[in-house]
Amino acid sequence: MINKLINEALVAHGFVNERKLDTTSFYVRESGTAIRFAVLHTLDDLPDPAELNTRINQLVPESFTRNPSFKKNCDLICIHRLKVLADFMDHEEEIFAIEEDPHFFKKYVLYYSTTEESALADFSYDKLVTVIADKKEFLDYKENPLTATQYSFAAKTFIKLPFLELPPHEGNLVSLRLQAAEAVAQAGLNDTYQTIQQVTKNNADDLIKEMINNELANIPD
């Protein structure tokens, strides 16, 4: 199920599946002169990075290795199931070791729990996009990030995979000027803010001196 969702995500972003094996699939995306490769691999265990690199390199299609862009522009997406999300703490070092390894591929370990997998039954990538845009689900996830839900998986997916585009957020934009004015008022700095707004090239020195004198006058004896 998880493999299917990530495959749909790759296809939705212009990747074409060039080779599909039991646990590994190879993708390529061409856009003009730009080319990007991706490998989707299911991990039953968490091997050391060198062993993982060897596993994948033995399976890479010749058409990929012939392309000079492959070595520097390939994402390796590893999906790995945990019994419960809290188990991540027990495997954190192994996961980070894989993701921080600089050799051959840019690596991402997308882990998920059995509960998340059950929650995603009959799910599609389009539904995943709808879930990630739900503000209420986000607030719930923020409060309880280790609770296994559809949103917890969606959040990890969009955070981990750099080529995925988040859906546009519709809402009323508040101008930065209004946000600044509100923050200044809450801090009780209206007078200082108004003084700063009056600063020009010609009066900067005088206003700064005035502000310093005002601060000194407010210092208790």
184, pLDDT greater than 60: no
Portion of the chain with pLDDT greater than 70, in percent: 75
Name the pTM for this structure. 0.71
| pLDDT mean over 183-190 | 64
pLDDT reported for residue 11: 92
CA angle 51, 53, 59 (to 5 degrees): 110
Task: Reduce the secondary structure of the chain to three states and give it as a string.
Answer: CHHHHHHHHHHHCCCEEEEECCCEEEEEEEECCEEEEEEEEEECCCCCHHHHHHHHHCCCCHHHHCCCCHHHCEEEEEEEEECCHHHHHHHHHHHHHHHHCCCCCEEEEEEEEHHHHHHCCCCCHHHHHHHHCCHHHHHHHHHCCCCCCHHHHHHHHHHHCCCCCCCCCCCCCCCHHHHHHHHHHHHCCHHHHHHHHCCCCCCHHHHHHHHHHHHHHHCCC
pLDDT reported for residue 173: 45
Residue 162: pLDDT band (50, 70, 90) is confident
pLDDT reported for residue 146: 78
pLDDT reported for residue 51: 94
Residue 15: pLDDT band (50, 70, 90) is very high
| Better-scored residue on pLDDT, 107 or 86 | 107
Summarize pLDDT for 80-89 with one digit per residue, the tens: 998 888 888 8
User: How crowded is residue 91: how many other Cβ atoms within 10 Å of its Cβ?
Assistant: 15
Cα gap 93→80, rounded to integer Å: 14
| pLDDT mean over 94-98 | 91
1, pLDDT greater than 70: yes
Lowest mean pLDDT among 14-28, 55-69, 133-147, 206-220: 206-220
Residue 172: pLDDT band (50, 70, 90) is very low
